[in-house]
Amino acid sequence: MIPQFIVENSPALMVIVPLVAAFITPFIGRISSGIRSIWVGGAMAVTSAITLILAFDVYSAGTRLYVFGARAASAAIPPDSGGIPIRIIFEVDPMSALMLVITAISGFAIILYSLSSERSHTGLESYYTLFLLMITGILGMVSTGDIFNFFVFLEILSLASAGLIAYRIDGGVAVEAALKYFVLSTIGALAILVAIGIYYGEYNALNMAMIASRMQFSLLDQVALVLIIAALAMKCGAVPMHFWTPDAYSMAPSSITALLVVASQASLYGLFRIVFSLYSVTLNAVMVGWLIIILGVLSMVVGVTMAIPQKNVKRLMAYHAVSQTGYMLLGVGVGLAVLGNQPLLDAFGYLAMEGGIFHIINHAMYKGLLFLTAGAIFLRVGTYNLNKMGGLGHSMKWTMVFFIIGALAIAGIPPFNGFASKLMIYESVFMFNPVLAVIAMVVSILTLASFVKVFHSIFMGPKLPEFADVKEAPLAMLLGMGILALVVVLFGLFPGIVVENLITPAAHALVDQGAYISTVLGGA
Amino acid sequence: MRMSKIVRTGANLLYPFILIFGLYVIMHGHLTPGGGFQGGAVVATAAALVIVAYSYDEVAGMLKKTAMKARESIGLLLFIGAGIAALVVGAPFFYNFLANSGLLFGMPVIPGPNPGDLNTAGVIPIMNIAVGIEVWGGLAIILLYMLSGIRKEES
């Protein structure tokens, strides 16, 4: 049904299509803005389709290797290279495939939303070019098997994100937020580059599987690990490196904020990939595991307590994003802390990791949805200030429904997807350390309290006179939100199917370092 | 603000040589030190030189931002196009299908010390040219935007 050519070359095509589309967009935009809308929408649809084809193929047929520039896509080690895979390699295992699924769904929903929400703004050719570059960066980051290539895609993502955060100049405030993000990203990227230099000097290789197979966990490797964890934890907005998130998330256009959430999940993926696939059992799993757990708990508590007093709805949601990232760090951190201890790993380690990984996809869906509803409200009302809103439930019914779905999901109320993943985290973390589980539950309750307040001040109450002529959001925006809301509800109703088919293979792929190495290096 | 006549004459004289040297670095990227990025940066310095020597307004008429943006996009598309062409011949993305094919840039490399044959290395020179065009456009845009501030300060 699907041509073999596309399936075989899907790892390359999913990066080529948005890249080519991004740079043709300025030319298309000169013809007419209508054709440009069709062009970027179509390009994103094709990208999502190819990405989903690849993800499906990985889940059904196992890890995919794609070697750029070789005569055959599976020839990882050139005959004259002395056994070192020198080419750029995409290694798409189930964990990467999960991230691809997230990007495909969110990216498509967000572009639908953008086509309508950004219609009346200027500078759209740059907007769509940078949007597609962000997609390219995310897709590349989560599928590459080459650590320098990872850095390159991270930089593509950072530069495009910084441009888009500053897209609505807004009296210079957005530019300030973008500058903050840009400076921090550059420092982070520099740290990663130094770490890559250390690996290259030590192991003569840039391929992650090759480095993993030679990993000794010397002092230099520890320095590199610290640099990488610090940089990527900053990029995913973990406390205490979270201070760029409220600014960047609240000043970017809402569609971009939703994509920034996916981007931060990609950084989180990078963190897990480095820790599990590159270092795995060589590192001091208990110590690094606890480090990640502490980062996670700090993020959860600080994020939610900072969110409660916020007046700006997007700043509030941004702090909740920090808080939710903590859950993923907590879940996967617990998995890491018991790595190498097979009985404990079987008892609750895998479950904790599955919970954390499941929370990544859930978070990308419901947090994206919440940011999109905030954007829809802003489009109609013109303010993010909670104190100035009220009574919008009368006129924006669908937006309200989507907001309720998102808010209940983030608070972990059944039957939405947030409940499913949080329950897995609670259960497994309780077996590891009951105090952590209690903290996680308290944070959830505070999240619910915070969103009840937001819901009340935006939608409840009598219709305000200044918003008398407020209309429902346009259809395309509702469609974009609807896709995400549908995923939130479906994942919440059938968590068993999702966990069994998507999450468990991902968690096992992350733990199974041997398989990751042997895919590239052969049976070694 | 225009610089003195000596500077402007010097810029006039140097301009073609900088362009030729930059294009030489791009063209010989696969044989000598340098390549697309370095050559493109050299070519873009020619733009910087004339903007500094003459006034921004005079140069803005000659170096158009839209033309530079077009160069940036075309360079990138040429680069990716060279990669996609490999897919068309049935190999993975970026496969060097022109090397040793006898076609454009397709001569085999002679082993041992030799003066260097330009007509080798397959798609690598094509990608160098693409990167050169792209960096030329990209850096020229950056220069045009940054140096446009000079005029504002004067008035």
pLDDT in tens, A357-390: 999 999 999 999 999 999 888 888 888 888 888 8
Q: Which of B83, B86, B92 has the CB atom closest to A66's CB atom?
A: B92
Per-residue pLDDT at A524? 44
| Phi (first) and psi of residue B98, to 5 degrees | -85, -20
* Cβ within 8 Å, pair A26-B73: yes
Which residues of chain B have a CB within 8 Å of the CB of A65?
A: none
Which residues of chain B have a CB within 8 Å of the CB of A20?
A: 77, 80, 84
Per-residue pLDDT at A262? 92
Spatial CB neighbours of A29, under 8 Å, sequence gap ≥ 6: A36, A124, A125, A128
Q: Does residue B89 sit at the A interface (CB-CB below 8 Å)?
A: no
Structure confidence at residue B121 as a pLDDT band (50, 70, 90):
confident
pLDDT in tens, B28-55: 888 888 888 888 899 888 888 888 888 7
| Tokens 């690996």, located at residue | A199
Interface A–B counts its CB contacts (< 8 A) at 46
Residue A348: pLDDT over 50: yes
Q: Which stretches of A204-253 are DSSP H helices?
A: 208-214, 219-235, 244-251
* Cβ within 8 Å, pair B87-A72: no
Highest mean pLDDT among A328-332, A469-473, B57-61: A328-332
Per-residue pLDDT at A439? 92
Per-residue pLDDT at A486? 92
Min Cα separation A118/chain B (Å)? 23
Residue B107 carries which DSSP code? B
Which residues of chain A have a CB within 8 Å of the CB of B92?
A: 9, 12, 66-73
* Cβ within 8 Å, pair B77-A23: yes
Structure confidence at residue B151 as a pLDDT band (50, 70, 90):
low
pLDDT in tens, A163-217: 888 888 777 788 888 889 999 999 999 999 999 999 999 888 888 888 888 888 8
Structure confidence at residue B137 as a pLDDT band (50, 70, 90):
confident
Closest-CA residue of A relative to B91 is: A71
* Cβ within 8 Å, pair A68-B91: no
Q: What percent of chain A has pLDDT over 70?
A: 99
Highest mean pLDDT among A24-28, A77-81, A216-220, A438-442: A438-442
pLDDT in tens, A46-62: 999 999 999 988 888 88
pLDDT in tens, A498-516: 888 889 888 888 888 888 8
Q: Which of B73, B86, B92 has the CB atom closest to A23's CB atom?
A: B73
Q: Rounded distance, CA B45 to CA B90, Å?
A: 40
Q: Rounded distance, CA A435 to CA A437, Å?
A: 5
Interface mutation vs chain A, best among B66, B93, B98, B100, most A CBs within 10 Å: B93
Chain mean position to CA B146: 20
Closest-CA residue of A relative to B79 is: A20
Query: What average pLDDT does the segment A84-93 reach?
Result: 85
Min Cα separation A139/chain B (Å)? 16
Closest-CA residue of B relative to A76 is: B92
Closest-CA residue of A relative to B88 is: A5
ipTM surpasses cut 0.90:
no
* Cβ within 8 Å, pair B69-A26: yes
Per-residue pLDDT at B152? 54
Interface mutation vs chain B, best among A8, A23, A80, A143, most B CBs within 10 Å: A23
Q: Which residue has the higher pLDDT, A281 or A377?
A: A377
Which pair of tokens denotes residue A255? 């569609």
Q: Does residue A7 sit at the B interface (CB-CB below 8 Å)?
A: no
Q: Rounded distance, CA A479 to CA A408, Å?
A: 20
* Cβ within 8 Å, pair A23-B76: yes
| Phi (first) and psi of residue A169, to 5 degrees | -65, -45
Count of Cβ atoms closer than 10 Å to residue A471 Cβ:
9
Min Cα separation A77/chain B (Å)? 15
Q: Which of A23, A27, A71 has the CB atom closest to B91's CB atom?
A: A71
Q: What percent of chain B has pLDDT over 70?
A: 94
Radius of gyration of the CA atoms of chain A, in A: 22
pLDDT in tens, A384-429: 888 888 888 888 888 899 999 999 999 888 888 888 899 999 989 9
Cβ under 8 Å to A: B residues 65-84: 69, 73, 76-77, 80, 83-84
Q: Does residue A183 sit at the B interface (CB-CB below 8 Å)?
A: no
Per-residue pLDDT at A390? 80
Q: Does residue B52 sit at the A interface (CB-CB below 8 Å)?
A: no
Residue A248: helix, strand or coil by DSSP?
A: helix
| Phi (first) and psi of residue A447, to 5 degrees | -60, -45
Q: Does residue A71 sit at the B interface (CB-CB below 8 Å)?
A: yes
Considering the entire predicted model, what is its pTM?
A: 0.90
Q: Does residue A86 sit at the B interface (CB-CB below 8 Å)?
A: no
Q: Which of A27, A69, A72 has the CB atom closest to B94's CB atom?
A: A69
Closest-CA residue of A relative to B74 is: A23
What's the whole-number average pLDDT of chain A? 87
Q: Rounded distance, CA A40 to CA A113, Å?
A: 12
Q: What percent of chain A has pLDDT over 90?
A: 35
Closest-CA residue of B relative to A67 is: B92
Structure confidence at residue B153 as a pLDDT band (50, 70, 90):
low
A3 prior amide bond cis, ω within 30: no
Query: What average pLDDT does the segment A317-341 reach?
Result: 89
| Tokens 């931060």, located at residue | A264
| Domain definitions of chain A by residue range | 284-493
